[in-house]
Amino acid sequence: MGISVSILLVAVGAILTWGVTADAEGLDVNAIGVILMIVGILGLVISMLFWSSWGGFRRRTAYVEGGPVRTTTAAAPRRTTVVEEEHIAPAPPPP
């Protein structure tokens, strides 16, 4: 179950829980809605956990003996910029 299916289950469960007022014999629509929301939330959490372990947005690097390090994504390497600020004391008030 992916993220989109999980969100769909949560949405359908919320509609059944709070949006449907019809009664059916032998069928509790509110309970079905709550069950769908719980299953959808659990699926969303599990999908997010596995998404980070499968790759997600992190970059992977490969090491080749004696060669340069190459990244598997097309993004440029990260650069660090250091900005130094001087603290200037405020001038005295005018007389």
Chain mean pLDDT for the chain: 79
Q: What angle do CA 55, 60, 66 make, to 5 degrees?
A: 155
Q: Are 10 and 16 in contact (CB under 8 A)?
A: no
Q: What is the pLDDT of residues 44-83, one digit of tens each?
A: 998 888 876 665 555 556 656 666 655 555 556 667 777 7
- The whole-angstrom separation of Cα 94 and Cα 7 is 63
The residues spanned by each domain of the chain are 3-71
pTM of the model: 0.54
Q: What is the pLDDT of residues 16-53, one digit of tens each?
A: 999 888 888 888 889 999 999 999 999 999 888 887 66
- The whole-angstrom separation of Cα 36 and Cα 21 is 17
